Amino acid sequence: MTEQTTPAGGPGAILGAWDTHLMNNYGRPQRALVSGRGSTVVDEQGNEYLDLLAGIAVNALGHAHPAVVEAVQRQVAQLGHVSNFFAAGPPVRVAGELAARFGDPSARVFFCNSGAEANEAAFKLARLTGRRRILAAHHGFHGRTMGALALTGQPAKRAPFEPVAPGVEFYPYGDIDYVRKLVDINPADTAAIFIEPIQGETGVVPAPEGFIEELRLLCDAHSILLVTDEVQTGVGRTGDFFAFQHDLPADTRPDIVTMAKGLGGGLPIGAVIATGEVAATFAPGTHGTTFGGNPVSCAAAEAVLGAVDDAFLAEVRRKGAAFARRLATIGGVAEVRGRGLMLAAVLDAPVAKQAVAAALDHGLIINATSERVLRFTPPLIITDDELEQAAERLADTLAQVINANA
């Protein structure tokens, strides 16, 4: 019998064993969570927190949502993993629903396990056009796998792993004149332009009004694929099912959309939606992933899609607008940006990372994308009362850290 190496239990057991068993690529967590319901989570010491991060926009319906729990339990008891040699009901139904939400009868779906995998697949679809050049935005984030990393416009993240995939060139986010000049260098060899409707990891920075529409026109003029990365913004996070629906005229769409995070309601799933000729680009053997389209993850996604209807989206818009107004009243907040329940508070002072740590002692989970920016991506089912409690706790937190740095 091997020696017992899992935590024996009791307060502090999980966090105490972290350094022994896990690699240090995330740093040491400040808390270990053991349960959650709705917008509240509980740590191994029994402390409760309002969760305004939701696993980085993953738990769209919160923790332990009854529809997700029931769907997963039912599916795992009926049929688990089947591989891509066989079909199953949940992935077929979810693909059909995503295509219907996208609104183009030519749409086809590829399932994978994460946002990075979805962007890898989109990268490969672009290269299968026969063109080599890919344009992506400075400060953008598309994942940490080697292909997705090549698309990520943050040199510090790429540098340790160079050389990454060649052929990616970067443009200033929102600068359509610069993009036009880049395209003009060699339009016939430009395969795709990648864009996040809102740059999440950079600090919840929305694309300037009209920018994505101008990209669509530019792509149309040169037969270039427009790829919107909706890994963080999709599935209602911004108050529209797809964030591009805010930026593009009705009946106008990207050629490819990548998704993940909120789609699975807490289970790992990614998806690529493609239309027209590009939707038929993959042939047997050109791409794949063992767990893509797993029936259990797709059952969870089906439950999420069943909840995120027009009335649900209207509530996300309403709650997001109200919370943005409330955030703007808090001392130390200089600016609020974002849409729906994907928001950021830009602070007067560089204390955001200190605030994240201090907020835990106030029963609040938040995130800092830089020294001056706090990001909020709570469960989309969060209540008005919970948002008010969060605002009060944030106000106390900021007052504490600002006074400590005075």
Does residue 124 carry a catalytic annotation? no
Give residue-wise pLDDT tens across range 132-164. 999 999 999 999 999 999 999 999 999 999 999
- Predicted confidence band at 6 (pLDDT cuts at 50, 70, 90)? very low
Q: Which of 110, 123, 211, 229 is catalytic?
A: 229
Closest to 233 (Cα-Cα) out of 324, 342, 359, 137: 342
What pLDDT does 357 receive? 97
User: 229 catalytic, yes or no?
Assistant: yes
99-141 per-position pLDDT tens digit: 999 999 999 999 999 999 999 999 999 999 999 999 999 999 9
Structure tokens at 190: 């430009």
Using DSSP's 3-state secondary structure scheme, residue 311 falls into: helix
Q: Identify the structural domains of the chain with CATH numbers, from first to last.
A: 87-307 (3.40.640.10)
* Annotated active-site residue in 102, 111, 123, 141: 141
Catalytic residue among 261, 319, 323, 376: 261
Which value, in Å, is the radius of gyration of the alpha carbons in the chain?
Answer: 21
Q: Name the pTM for this structure.
A: 0.95
- Give me the chain's average pLDDT, please: 96
CA dist 7 and 2 (Å) reads 14
